[in-house]
Structure 1
């Protein structure tokens, strides 16, 4: 059994012991909505709630939500909070004389942990005060406003899955705008922007006005700091639906062709902020708009792409979700003139004279440390870090295979591969490096000066001093030098999933992959550049760590640190 450290025991023994009886228990609390009583605004409180109360004062000392599979140690952690940092404005740190629990296993566990603290741990069949508080919590959680109105929830989620199958982001970038004219519930026209061309973040932004859409893009592109970008984000006036990976075994909609995803609905307004709760009137507007968009996407996306976006419109009659038997007339149309205006706005605001010191997404702290040191193997082979621009954004991703030929034509520099790609592919795996335009040009020239790019590899690495393992992203140049482009914590679930997709896609391409170097790290295209932002495209082989023969690389700190 794990015991308290001697220092912790001494600290707890210094607390004033009060002649009080505390009750404690953990119980399942299930609610798909936020509950301010639990000190947070999580959208999913499903799990166990641990509660410690003072039976004499009838006051809550500490309360925590924990995963249902958490061990008994979690109960002790909440108990220590109840003693040292109790909740409530008048609660003082203290140590009780007696503790009551209604679970024998919990009693024996706590007796072992608290044996040196002069606290009696007793069993009782009933905890009336705990029962009352838990009942109130569950009732309150059941009354909290759900994220989607019950009347519209199933229909909205079904529409979101249908649009996921339409997949407009496979052909179009965020500048290709659709208008949805509905004249319904005080909304005249919504202007729809699509996210997800590079397979990194999927969704639809439905702006309530064209002015809001243009203002947001201009503010983001001209911003010079992360604070500017965040401020611009909160000034939007739009509805949104976005898609997140669903890591559960099944969400009821997954098929071999459609990866499991979870749609999220909400809205943003300058005065209201970002709302994760969609009320009935807004939900009805989104239902009408999404149904019209789905009908348009399912028949009209053919022949549209990032370079060919013709003027086209279709009119539909949609059932009114609020009034049975009534129809809403909706017109969905492409807006090529707006798309051209947004593209020109980007070219003007992100021209050739970008400041090299523009703010960018910061590299992870671990990588910043690694880049100041040397990663070497036992035989002394050096892994260099001179190619990657400072403060660049990098990620593992993919582009639709249908865009590969177009990308080859649009970039300023393309390194072709001798290998032929299979004819039937959906995705082409890429490493994306996004930086400022001058730094992107410098990086491309540096690769060209080395004779080109030879391969992309992931190799294990470790920090023996920090007991941390990494998956190191490595670029092998034609002059045989090895350049570090990124590091990822080996047990990070997001990276584990990204590596799984990378390896699977590389198998389907017979080992072919690519490096894309793009500009626009501080604009609206941050993390999701369009074709016009992509400046270099290198098609190469995906190498295994065995191909490089480096073994596990170890971080070696400079002597002055010892």
Structure 2
């Protein structure tokens, strides 16, 4: 035990001794109580010192479980010298009551010379009452979604996740959803997620709030304080897809909303990205952020998501950052309060507002080439270097070997924004065209396409053996050869992987039937139901080229060489 320093002891001896008895205790902080105390990021113990006569909390701390008894003394000293309650004056108690024998002996040793009696009691009624109150407050917190509408709202969120509108739209593409239900007239929708960072739907209550937020963000100039202020000034409802949190669900005491059942419903919204869950809430300048939806808000969100899902099913493939025409569609949806009745909801695109927001930010979302030029991506005057480059394919992209039915080739050629014709007509007997598919987000896909164009297009695709001498691992490397003489790594496959071996055999067989022709397809749709299985509307680039044999390329076995920092 470390004693108090002589100077600290003298300072405490100068404090007046109060005719009061204090209770002190340390208790495990349950998650629901931590949330009530705004201490949900601190999982541990709560230390309390309470004046039993005045019935006020003099000091409180939340500490990690492993913290020693010294933390109780630190909180006690603060209770003496700087009490938490404004009405309490500094001073020493006459007696201290604790319910732990070990703590009693510890405090007796520490507080020697301060004329404070430390006594053991079986119960601490005032501290008990405080914790009972905190537990009651935690139990009375409303659920994050109203029980009557939770399942329907979660299913609607699942449908939006599967639609993945952020693959086609940036946040400046605004929709109006006219509800005219209850107190809600129209909500103005902005989609988050085009850059692959945060996915969600913002539902502004007015165009003015939407514009004001954009203006404040642009004026903030990366100031964290100004950005936070702009964020809290929004007037909107929101749906975001966030990393999984096992404590996310809170169903109150309603037996109809079992946490495991709601957790399963939330996870249904995730498709293959099971690390994400939907969360809902409200933002208002006078209320701040609230991660709870009440009945009327949940109904508005439900109708909005259902109408958007129907609209996206009909029109999403016609929309993009470059193309956002004026479209309007009305839907008859079940009334959440009375399923036998219908509610009319109208969804409209707002291209004029989208253009105004784009002008406000000074960006042209359709001009990806200018964007790449501004980053210097397209500037490359160097001579061709015969090395294998691995910086072309985005790090988070998916790549795979596959084939496209030759009956769809002509349709694909017409649909994509970037097409490179093949070296020769396809033989009539070829039924499948072998391709390597690269799937990533829309912006990254457009950057990749622009880079390939800057390299003069695709000369061919080859496979080459590779090895890592440090681990004795061997690979089959897919290599893209561009017309400027460079070679780019498309993907690496373990040479003994049975799945890849089967895919390679099919690749070679198909290439024989196409007379050595193959292709590269660049697609968007990294999230939602299109992940790993993009439809035609997700394919942005199609390069027809030659299949090059490893003998023709003449590289031999490539070895992974250690980098200059590998041994640090």
Length-normalised TM-score, structure 1: 0.56
Distance change (3 Å), C-alpha of 1:22 and 1:218: closer
Is 1:287–2:302 an aligned residue pair? Answer: yes
**Match runs of 1:56-455 below 5 Å:** 56-66=53-63, 72-111=69-108, 113-114=110-111, 119-222=116-219, 226=223, 229-230=227-228, 232-246=230-244, 248=246, 252=264, 253=266, 257-297=272-312, 300-302=315-317, 304-347=319-362, 401-403=440-442, 404-408=444-448
Distance change (3 Å), C-alpha of 1:406 and 1:320: same
Asked if the contact 2:232–2:289 (Cα under 8 Å) also holds between the matched residues in 1, the reply is: yes
Asked if the contact 2:26–2:47 (Cα under 8 Å) also holds between the matched residues in 1, the reply is: yes
Paired with 2:314 and 2:460, the residues of 1 have a C-alpha distance of 32
Asked if the contact 1:545–1:551 (Cα under 8 Å) also holds between the matched residues in 2, the reply is: no
Deviates more, 1:162-171 or 1:82-91: 162-171
Q: CA deviation at 1:319?
A: 2.8
Q: Deviations over 1:369-407 (max 9, x none)?
A: xxxxxxxxxxxxxxxxxxxxxxxxxxx996871433412
SS at match of 1:91: coil
Q: CA deviation at 1:414?
A: 6.8
Q: Deviations over 1:236-286 (max 9, x none)?
A: 332122333235599655579224335443333345544444332222211
Q: CA deviation at 1:287?
A: 1.9
- 1:27 match: 27
Paired with 1:296 and 1:303, the residues of 2 have a C-alpha distance of 11
Distance change (3 Å), C-alpha of 1:245 and 1:112: farther
Distance change (3 Å), C-alpha of 1:405 and 1:211: same
Q: Deviations over 1:184-240 (max 9, x none)?
A: 123222221111222322322111223432343244335567366555444433212
Paired with 2:129 and 2:139, the residues of 1 have a C-alpha distance of 16
Distance change (3 Å), C-alpha of 1:191 and 1:2: farther
Distance change (3 Å), C-alpha of 1:397 and 1:194: farther
Q: CA deviation at 1:165?
A: 4.1
Asked if the contact 1:33–1:45 (Cα under 8 Å) also holds between the matched residues in 2, the reply is: no
Q: CA deviation at 1:100?
A: 1.6
Paired with 1:331 and 1:91, the residues of 2 have a C-alpha distance of 60
Q: Deviations over 1:127-178 (max 9, x none)?
A: 2222223223333443445554444445444543543344322332211222
Gaps of 5+ in 1: 351-395, 424-453, 455-543, 553-562
Paired with 1:184 and 1:289, the residues of 2 have a C-alpha distance of 11
Distance change (3 Å), C-alpha of 1:20 and 1:228: closer
Distance change (3 Å), C-alpha of 1:248 and 1:5: farther
Distance change (3 Å), C-alpha of 1:96 and 1:33: closer
Q: CA deviation at 1:349?
A: 11
- 2:565 match: 549
Paired with 2:197 and 2:345, the residues of 1 have a C-alpha distance of 31
Paired with 1:248 and 1:325, the residues of 2 have a C-alpha distance of 36
Paired with 1:142 and 1:224, the residues of 2 have a C-alpha distance of 42
Q: CA deviation at 1:113?
A: 4.8
Paired with 1:204 and 1:422, the residues of 2 have a C-alpha distance of 42
Distance change (3 Å), C-alpha of 1:347 and 1:131: closer
- 2:534 match: none
What count of residue pairs does the alignment treat as equivalent?
387
Q: Deviations over 1:261-314 (max 9, x none)?
A: 354433333455444443322222112212333444466544643334455555
Deviates more, 1:124-133 or 1:247-256: 247-256
Length-normalised TM-score, structure 2: 0.56
Q: Deviations over 1:445-472 (max 9, x none)?
A: xxxxxxxxx9xxxxxxxxxxxxxxxxxx
Asked if the contact 2:358–2:364 (Cα under 8 Å) also holds between the matched residues in 1, the reply is: no
Asked if the contact 2:194–2:441 (Cα under 8 Å) also holds between the matched residues in 1, the reply is: no
Paired with 1:327 and 1:422, the residues of 2 have a C-alpha distance of 58
Asked if the contact 1:34–1:43 (Cα under 8 Å) also holds between the matched residues in 2, the reply is: yes
Asked if the contact 1:16–1:93 (Cα under 8 Å) also holds between the matched residues in 2, the reply is: yes
Q: CA deviation at 1:90?
A: 2.1
SS at match of 2:201: strand
Paired with 2:322 and 2:328, the residues of 1 have a C-alpha distance of 18
CA RMSD, 1 decimal: 4.6
Asked if the contact 1:32–1:45 (Cα under 8 Å) also holds between the matched residues in 2, the reply is: no
Asked if the contact 1:33–1:146 (Cα under 8 Å) also holds between the matched residues in 2, the reply is: no
Distance change (3 Å), C-alpha of 1:7 and 1:274: same
Q: Deviations over 1:322-375 (max 9, x none)?
A: 34533222233444443333223322799xxxxxxxxxxxxxxxxxxxxxxxxx
Paired with 1:282 and 1:270, the residues of 2 have a C-alpha distance of 16
